[in-house]
């Protein structure tokens, strides 16, 4: 048995399962010279692979037009010619494919036309599909998960998480990532324990090892003995009992002892999460990360596809649903879209910047949201806003969509609220201005903390500096709440800080109207609010805002 202790914990819980270590699918192939006699056999292998990939892609293209582009490539005469010529020059088939793909890719990448440049990713995808067939490998690195497992990986991208079958994944352990990395946040929302930044774990665990993880204390046991398993199971049972007690009171409102009520909402990423909101009696959804719909897909979801999801979400929920417009870029990539290489992706082309550049895509989302708003209380909020101009542009597009829908006789809520996520220092400093044009604010402390402190939220090497209790972050939060209230709008928070029990009192005292967090956390936060005195919380918040250091802040709050 080996014992490892992770320093930082965030998505809590206990799991005991076999490990599933994730390896990237390695499709590298060795270059070698074939004999003249082997040429026809290698060409036949290529043609058989083309046939197989052609069949797979044709099936995909039936439901998704994007694969027609892939099909065109795999059936392209000059592509096949490039591969066959190389084989005839005595290069083995796999290398012939790789080299032809590289050549076509680099030609596409040189094009001025953005659309053609983006097709380079399709060429690479077709190449990978052909190589996977020839090497008899699956491209889905999670395909072989059949039974419950704890996934152990170097790092996981949000798009990886979107591909996982959560009925089977009982825990995550990664070598990289900070506690507000998206892997951690997403597992938290899904109610799955996660430990990130556990360096060296892949050297200590191999697939099939029994792993016991306690994401409360950070303890990981590899191949634990019987006694240790028993102890871990007992802790798990205790935790389940505690959750059951809180769940009994979950439906009660969050009203402080002196009568101050706040809303306690949940964060979601898909329709399954919506069911968790109901299970934990959260009062609404403060953040629907709509990018999950995009990441779970293999094409940009159409207006119709999005409309159906938003409509189902609000109907099933039957309570307020705040949907965030697409927030891709930085670490949130799409398998079917090539993002530009950026030196500083978190300061780069992401969120509303992408949406305002790709207006057709954005309009499809806004139209879908508007149409779904006819079925329940939907509000829309926009991420990464840095200026009133951006908000004006979003509102102008919204008006265009409304006019189109009216002409088409499609129903929507003409009063649909459009709010702003406050997650950049620019938005904090302009909060009084934005508040005059926004219908509500929601503070995204995950990004706000990283941008205010200039500390990358996903970098475990500097994770000790990433702290939302830093006086600068707390002052930013206070300023935003004040600006929102002066303009008469509600201020919520959907960053992870809203679900941190140690922060509840100060956030209550600062006047936060709505707290949004992982669904499983909502009964805990409601219970804390019900035991707090609002007037005392206000006084404490005032004291905290005068603190010089994080330690002074946490000493007061503890």
Question: Considering only residues 411-430, where is the footprint of Mg ion by CB under 5 A?
Answer: 423
Tokens standing for 463?
């994770």
Q: Is the dihedral of CA 235, 237, 243, 245 positive or negative?
A: negative
Q: Which stretch binds Mg ion (CB under 5 A): 77-85, 88-96, 200-208, 436-444?
A: 436-444
Question: Considering only residues 168-207, where is the footprint of ligand PEP by CB under 6 A?
Answer: 185
Q: Please count the helices (runs of H) and the strands (runs of E) in the chain.
A: 23, 16
Q: Which stretch binds Mg ion (CB under 5 A): 9-17, 47-55, 126-134, 438-446?
A: 438-446
Count of residues in contact with ligand PEP, rule CB under 6 A = 11
CB of 196 to ligand PEP, least distance (A): 14
20 phi/psi in degrees, rounded to 5: -125, 105
Specify the residue, 495 or 523, whose C-beta has the smaller distance to ligand PEP: 495
Specify the residue, 280 or 497, whose C-beta has the smaller distance to Mg ion: 497
Tokens standing for 149?
């497992």
Binds 494: which of ligand PEP, Mg ion, none (CB < 5-8 Å by kind): ligand PEP
Rg (CA), the chain: 26
> Binder to ligand PEP among 423, 460, 514, 527 (CB under 6 A)?
423
Binds 42: which of ligand PEP, Mg ion, none (CB < 5-8 Å by kind): none
523 phi/psi in degrees, rounded to 5: -65, -35
> Binder to ligand PEP among 70, 188, 260, 289 (CB under 6 A)?
289
CA 507 to chain centre: 25
Tokens standing for 18?
């076999």
Q: What count of Cα atoms within 13 Å lies in the side-chain half-sphere of residue 208?
A: 0
Q: Please, are residues 16 and 193 in contact by the beta-carbon 8 Å criterion?
A: no
Tokens standing for 494?
């959907």
Which of these, 173, 235, 127, 123, lies nearest to 11 by C-alpha position?
173
Q: Which stretch binds Mg ion (CB under 5 A): 95-103, 339-347, 440-448, 517-525?
A: 440-448
Specify the residue, 267 or 373, whose C-beta has the smaller distance to ligand PEP: 267
CB of 465 to ligand PEP, least distance (A): 17
Specify the residue, 191 or 495, whose C-beta has the smaller distance to ligand PEP: 495
Specify the residue, 98 or 449, whose C-beta has the smaller distance to ligand PEP: 449
Binding-site string for ligand PEP from residue 431 to residue 470, where x marks contact by CB under 6 A and - marks none: -------------xxxx-----------------------
CB of 160 to ligand PEP, least distance (A): 16
Can you name the residues that pair with 442 across neighbouring β-strands? 421, 492
Can you name the residues that pair with 14 across neighbouring β-strands? 214
Q: What count of Cα atoms within 13 Å lies in the side-chain half-sphere of residue 114?
A: 6
Count of residues in contact with Mg ion, rule CB under 5 A = 3
To the nearest 10 degrees (0 to 180), the angle between helices 271-279 and 303-317 is 10
Task: Give the CA distances from residue 490 to residues 223, 439, 441, 475, in Å, rounded to whole numbers and listed in that order.
Answer: 50, 8, 6, 18
CB of 346 to ligand PEP, least distance (A): 10
Tokens standing for 202?
């892949």
> Binder to ligand PEP among 197, 495, 499, 511 (CB under 6 A)?
495
User: Residue written as tokens 């897909």?
Assistant: 297
Binds 458: which of Mg ion, ligand PEP, none (CB < 5-8 Å by kind): none
Which of these, 98, 170, 175, 167, lies nearest to 131 by C-alpha position?
98
Question: Considering only residues 441-500, where is the footprint of Mg ion by CB under 5 A?
Answer: 444, 447
Q: Which residues contact Mg ion (rule: CB under 5 A)? A: 423, 444, 447
Q: Which residues bind ligand PEP (CB under 6 A)?
A: 185, 287, 289, 327, 423, 444-447, 494-495
């Amino acid at each position: 048995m080996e014992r490892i202790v992770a320093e930082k914990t965030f998505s809590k819980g206990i799991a005991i399962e076999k490990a599933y270590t994730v390896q990237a699918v390695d499709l590298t192939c060795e270059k070698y010279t074939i004999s003249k006699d082997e040429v026809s056999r290698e060409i036949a292998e290529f043609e058989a692979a083309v046939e197989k990939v052609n069949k797979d892609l044709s099936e995909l293209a039936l439901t998704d037009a994007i694969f027609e582009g892939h099909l065109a490539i795999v059936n392209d005469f000059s592509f096949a010619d490039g591969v066959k010529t190389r084989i005839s020059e005595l290069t083995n088939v796999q290398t012939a494919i790789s080299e032809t793909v590289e050549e076509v890719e680099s030609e596409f990448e040189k094009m001025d036309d953005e659309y053609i440049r983006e097709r380079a990713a399709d060429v690479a995808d077709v190449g990978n599909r052909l190589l996977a067939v020839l090497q008899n490998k699956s491209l889905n690195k999670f395909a072989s998960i059949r039974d419950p497992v704890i996934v152990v990986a170097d790092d996981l991208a949000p798009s990886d998480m979107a591909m996982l079958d959560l009925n089977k994944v009982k825990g995550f352990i990664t070598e990289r990532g900070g506690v507000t990395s998206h892997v951690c946040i997403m597992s938290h929302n899904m109610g799955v324990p996660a430990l990130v930044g556990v360096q060296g774990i892949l050297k200590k665990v191999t697939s099939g090892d029994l792993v016991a993880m306690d994401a409360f204390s950070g303890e990981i046991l590899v191949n634990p003995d019987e006694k240790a398993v028993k102890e871990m199971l007992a802790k798990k049972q205790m935790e389940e009992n505690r959750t059951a007690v809180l769940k009994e009171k979950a439906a009660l409102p969050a009203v402080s002892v002196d009568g101050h009520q706040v809303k306690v909402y949940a964060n979601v990423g898909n329709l399954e999460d919506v069911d968790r909101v109901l299970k934990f009696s959260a009062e609404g959804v403060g953040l629907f990360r709509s990018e999950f719909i995009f990441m779970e897909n293999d094409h940009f979801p159409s207006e119709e596809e999005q409309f159906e999801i938003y409509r189902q979400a609000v109907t099933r929920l039957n309570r307020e649903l705040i949907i965030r417009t697409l927030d891709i870029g930085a670490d949130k990539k799409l398998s079917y879209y090539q993002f530009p290489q950026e030196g500083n992706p978190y300061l780069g082309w992401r969120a509303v910047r992408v949406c305002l550049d790709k207006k057709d895509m954005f309009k499809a989302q806004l139209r879908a949201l508007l149409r779904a708003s006819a079925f329940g209380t939907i509000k829309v909020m926009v991420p990464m806003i840095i200026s009133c101009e951006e908000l004006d542009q979003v509102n102008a597009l919204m008006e265009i969509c409304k006019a189109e829908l009216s002409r088409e006789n499609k129903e929507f809520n003409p009063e649909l609220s459009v709010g702003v996520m406050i997650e950049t220092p620019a938005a904090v400093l302009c909060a009084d201005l934005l508040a005059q044009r926004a219908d509500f604010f929601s503070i995204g402390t995950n990004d706000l903390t990283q941008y205010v402190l200039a500390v990358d939220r996903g970098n475990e090497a500097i994770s000790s500096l990433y702290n939302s209790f830093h006086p600068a972050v707390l002052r930013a939060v206070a300023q935003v709440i004040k600006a929102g209230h002066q303009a008469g709008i509600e201020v919520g928070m959907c960053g992870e800080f809203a679900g941190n029990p140690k922060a509840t009192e100060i956030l209550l005292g600062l006047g936060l109207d709505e707290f949004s967090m992982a669904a499983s956390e909502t009964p805990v936060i409601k219970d804390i609010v019900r035991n707090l005195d609002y007037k005392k919380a206000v006084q404490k918040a005032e004291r905290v805002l005068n603190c010089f250091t994080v330690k002074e802040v946490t000493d007061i709050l503890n």
